[in-house]
Amino acid sequence: MASEKEKMLSEKAYKASDKDLFEERLHAQKTCFDFNNISPELITERHDLIRRILGSVSSEFYIQPPFQCDYGYNIHLGNHFYSNYNLTILDCAEVRIGDHVMIAPNVSIFTAGHPIDATKRNEEWEYAIPVTIGNNVWIGGNSVVNPGVSIGDNTVIGSGSVVTRDIPSNVIAAGNPCKVIREITKADEDFYFKDRRF
């Protein structure tokens, strides 16, 4: 018979109150607590600590505390990853993030969900669906990425967005629910460099 962890990782209904899952979450919480409370100038020590629970991470990344996650081992960060204050990742399923991704303050990434039916919800069932974020993505502040979402390469998610479905590559998307506003074009590059000192 499959364990609750095996069910969780295979997108089946499971119970997070399982003893082994509780212990794994407690370990991640303790590691995040230590990470969040290291003195700000001790960046190397801080990142050495968080590497211990993350599934995979490049040599170049920066996570600005505070940071919270459920397990850690389901989080995979690409090269040159940056997140600002208050990133929360509920990684009951895999969260795969590409290279050169920037995340603004107060962003939440959720893989976990609960039944719509109150009876099943009260029985403590939940489910988890992976999230994928491509390369060169920028997610604006106070945004939420929901279970099962995929965000394509080079895309910008506007502040305050609630991403409930897949967003393609090379677009600006925003809103609640998050929708594509327009494609990113050469004019966007020219606009930011015109009469500016970069």
Q: Which are the catalytic amino acids? A: 114
For residue 42, give every residue at least 6 positions away whose Cβ sits within 8 Å of its Cβ, in sequence order, or none.
Answer: none
Compute and round to an integer the Cα radius of gyration of the chain.
Answer: 18
The one-character DSSP state at 38 is S
**Per-residue tokens: 62:** 């920066």
**Per-residue tokens: 64:** 């600005």
**Quick check: 157 and 173 in contact, CB under 8 A?**
yes
At 47, is the secondary structure helix, strand, or coil? helix
